[in-house]
């Protein structure tokens, strides 16, 4: 149900210029939230377009370029959200990167960069959001991007899988520490989503395994019980639930939304 601008809850979605993050931001706006969106400075044009789409839905928005792996930029980002939209009720730490590479070939620098975005970036967003929500004194929803690779390690995605296993651990610990402040902390675990990231994954696996374009995606897609590749809107629908009052009694969970690939 839509709320007036004066009473609307405020969400921040990182990595929102395209793909899953864009889908989440637009869904939360449709749900009646005012939505700040974030991505890297190099994505500013696409980010501004998402913010404009949110405003077209009658919601307030601000587009903020920031690198989530840098503490000072995350703090400034949250400060801007509060300064321009008044508060922060929902944090969706969605920003992430992937790399397809055999573990024996991954350099320490590549490992550190992936962890800096996927795990440290999520930690910094969780932390900055929690501090703001505690100051506000009215609780909040913190939501992170995990993956089916956080429930099962995947070949050629070893360091990515490790980062997503880490998201699950942080989510469980944060949920326990911040429950007394009325803050719930949960994560969503997508599978094979039709995004630019998965196009890159398909291409890189194809190079390594000698497959044609689209073949790796097709092989992975055959694992999906529901028989179709996931869309950003499928993930966004579940994040909508995590951001709503309907999930008030749920915390510390990292839930598969993968069409039936991993069963646990």
Active-site annotation holder among 164, 218, 241, 249: 164
Q: Are residues 211 and 243 in the same domain?
A: no
Q: Are residues 113 and 235 in the same domain?
A: yes
Residue 255 covered by a domain: no
Q: What is the pTM of this model?
A: 0.94
Burial 144-175 (b: 16+ CB within 10 A, else e): bbbbbbbbeeeebbbbbbbbbbbbbebbbebb
Q: Are residues 203 and 83 in the same domain?
A: no
Domain span holding position 205: 194-229
The CATH number linked to 61 is: 3.40.50.720
Q: What is the pLDDT of residue 221?
A: 83
Q: Are residues 109 and 204 in the same domain?
A: no
Q: Are residues 31 and 157 in the same domain?
A: yes
Q: What is the pLDDT of residue 4?
A: 42
Percentage of the chain beyond pLDDT 90 is 86
Number of domains in the chain: 2
Q: Are residues 176 and 239 in the same domain?
A: yes
Tens of pLDDT, residues 153-211: 999 999 999 999 999 999 999 999 999 999 999 999 999 998 877 777 777 777 787 87
Q: Are residues 129 and 208 in the same domain?
A: no
160 is catalytic: yes
Active-site annotation holder among 160, 188, 241, 249: 160
Please list the ranges in the chain whose pLDDT falls under 70: 1-6
């Amino acid at each position: 149900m839509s709320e007036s601008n004066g009473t609307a809850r405020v969400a921040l979605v990182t990595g929102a210029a395209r793909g899953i993050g864009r889908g989440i931001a637009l869904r939360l706006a449709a749900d009646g939230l005012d939505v700040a969106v974030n991505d890297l400075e190099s994505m500013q044009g696409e980010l501004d377009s998402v913010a404009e789409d949110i405003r077209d839905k009658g919601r307030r928005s601000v587009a903020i370029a920031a690198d989530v792996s840098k503490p000072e930029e995350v703090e400034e980002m949250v400060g801007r959200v509060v300064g321009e939209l008044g508060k922060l009720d929902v944090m969706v730490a969605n920003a992430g990167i992937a790399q397809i590479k055999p573990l024996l070939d991954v350099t320490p620098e590549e490992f550190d960069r992936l962890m800096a975005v996927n795990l440290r970036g999520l930690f910094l967003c969780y932390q900055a959001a929690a501090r703001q929500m505690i100051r506000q004194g009215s609780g909040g929803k913190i939501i992170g991007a995990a993956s089916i690779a956080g429930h099962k390690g995947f070949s050629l995605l070893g360091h990515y899988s490790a980062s997503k296993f880490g998201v699950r651990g942080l989510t469980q610990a944060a949920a326990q520490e911040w429950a007394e402040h009325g803050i719930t902390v949960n994560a969503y675990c997508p599978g094979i989503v039709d995004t630019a990231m998965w196009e890159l994954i398909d291409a890189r696996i194809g190079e390594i395994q000698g497959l044609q374009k689209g073949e790796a995606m097709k092989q992975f897609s055959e694992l999906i019980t529901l028989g179709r590749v996931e869309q950003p809107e499928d993930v966004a629908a579940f994040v909508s639930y995590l951001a709503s009052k309907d999930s008030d009694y749920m915390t510390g969970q990292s839930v598969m939304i993968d069409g039936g690939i991993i069963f646990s």
